[in-house]
Amino acid sequence: MSSLFASLQTAAGAMDIFQNAMAVIQNNVANANTPGYVTQTLNLAAQPFQPENGLVGGVQADGTQTSRNQFAEQSVWTQNSALGAASAQSSSLSALQSYFDITGKTGIPAGLSSLYSAFSAWSANPSDTTARTQVLAAAQQVIQAFNQTANQVSQLESQTNGQLSSTTAQINALTSKIVAINVQIRNGDASDPGLQAQLYNDLEQLSNYSTISVQTEADGTATVLMNGQIPLVIGTTQTQLSVSYATASSPTYPNAPASANVITSSGQGVTSEIGTAGQLGGLLQFRNTTLPSIIGSQQVQGSLNQLGQAIADRVNSVLTAGQVSSGPPPVAGLPVLSYTAGSPTDVASSLSLNSAITPANLAAIQPGPPPVSNGVPDQLSQLANPTNPADMLNGLSFTDFYSGVASNVGSEASAASTAQSTNTDLLNQAQSMRAQLSGVSLNDQAAKLLEFQQAYQASAQVINTVNNMMQTLMNMMGIQ
């Protein structure tokens, strides 16, 4: 009789366990599309069967096991960081590229072409008022092109500053959520699959902003490092980030915009430790390297300013060496172009027409000897295809120098776009691998649910059979 009671007890316990297993499966199915969630499995173990020692066997639950694969998670984070950097670079470089026309139909190259044509027409008829007027009009076109491009790049710089602030704010928001999760974990919720899903969803979002590495501590909390060096989260302690623009220690151009510097809540500068991955790394590289190479910074003048200054200085030097008339007394030529001489990084934005210049006082005469009536415009027209090193910048014509700058921007934009496409594919592959290793397969869960339903029904049948046997035995013993 006692063995029948033991069998009844064993079958009832098995039913409870199988019911719990089905509940785990149902939870898996319900969270199949929950970001960060992975398959949970109720571990089952056989109880020892030793009748002589009163051990009647059966099944017992041995805890819930998660299928999370840390290698797969880290692979997703790594690819997500690479995609974040490529996306930030591609978007920023695409905007920058739109300011540099390489067709020669608009912008600076069109302005230079018009100026060279005006010089040539003036050379053919040096005393013609219309030709002289056209020179000033073409010069104004060049000025407007430089001013517009400089302003566009400066606006893009301001937009990038805003993106950097927004990015650090997003990082701070995510690390704050992770700290809150760590608090719950310390309070005993470490095994809660919903809490773990929130944690890993936040970590994946964070990885898009920078390279991260994560370590699970003995108490179950997550320690998060940025690029393996900056502790964003340690237990319940968060390090917040912000962006500053402090003047460099030894600036070459102190009036220029300062580089972006990421600092921690304790005031420590960590820009060099961030690296180039993630949206933050990509934006920093664009803000502190790409843009200064064009528009300048406290350390470099910038190619746009170099070109504007070279054009202005060369045109002005030829004009001021000439004469409006040979006299007596001779009337010296005036410069046409002007810029803020004390601020080399503002040349492109400050380029303007000399307020004293008019068509009548453009110097056309080269004094010689012998004097040449169209010597100045003739020399200026040679800027289109120069052979004199004085008419060049870094060994290139002004047009070719500009083309090189535009070409470099275009190449970088193309490379960033390709990297974005490639890293999108790699991230999809990493996420697919993770899903195969630890994601919820509805087909697998359906099969397991059927298996446990059958086991539950079998246990119920055992109880029914044992109950019938006990009833029969009791009837035989005359027990009602």
Residue 323 within any structural domain of the chain: no
Let me know whether 59 and 98 are in one domain. no
Let me know whether 118 and 239 are in one domain. yes
158/79 Cα distance (integer angstroms): 28
CA 404 to chain centre: 26
Let me know whether 52 and 107 are in one domain. no
> For the chain, percent helix, then strand, then coil, each to nearest 5?
60, 10, 25
Let me know whether 107 and 32 are in one domain. no
Residue 238 within any structural domain of the chain: yes
Q: Give the model's pLDDT for residue 9.
A: 63
Per the CB < 8 A criterion, the answer to whether 316 and 366 are in contact is no
Let me know whether 95 and 56 are in one domain. no
Residue 28: closest CA among 39, 43, 20, 17: 39
Q: Give the model's pLDDT for residue 465.
A: 74
Residue 375 within any structural domain of the chain: no
Q: Which of 251-255, 362-366, 377-381 has the lowest mean pLDDT?
A: 251-255
Residue 195 within any structural domain of the chain: yes
Let me know whether 425 and 444 are in one domain. no
Let me know whether 61 and 113 are in one domain. no
Q: Which domain holds residue 250?
A: 83-302+399-430
Residue 384 within any structural domain of the chain: no
Mean pLDDT to the nearest integer, 48-69:
69
Residue 314 within any structural domain of the chain: no
Residue 374 within any structural domain of the chain: no
Let me know whether 98 and 197 are in one domain. yes
Residue 346 within any structural domain of the chain: no
Let me know whether 44 and 170 are in one domain. no
136/307 Cα distance (integer angstroms): 19
Let me know whether 466 and 409 are in one domain. no
Let me know whether 282 and 205 are in one domain. yes
The tally of domains found in the chain comes to: 2
Let me know whether 418 and 456 are in one domain. no
- Categorize the per-residue pLDDT at 50 as very low, low, confident or very high, splitting at 50, 70 and 90: low
Exposed/middle/buried for 176, CB within 10 Å: 0-12, 13-18, 19+?
middle
The model's pLDDT over 197-246, given as tens digits with 9 standing for 90+, comes to 999 999 999 999 999 999 999 999 999 999 999 999 999 999 999 999 98
Percent of the chain with pLDDT over 70: 91
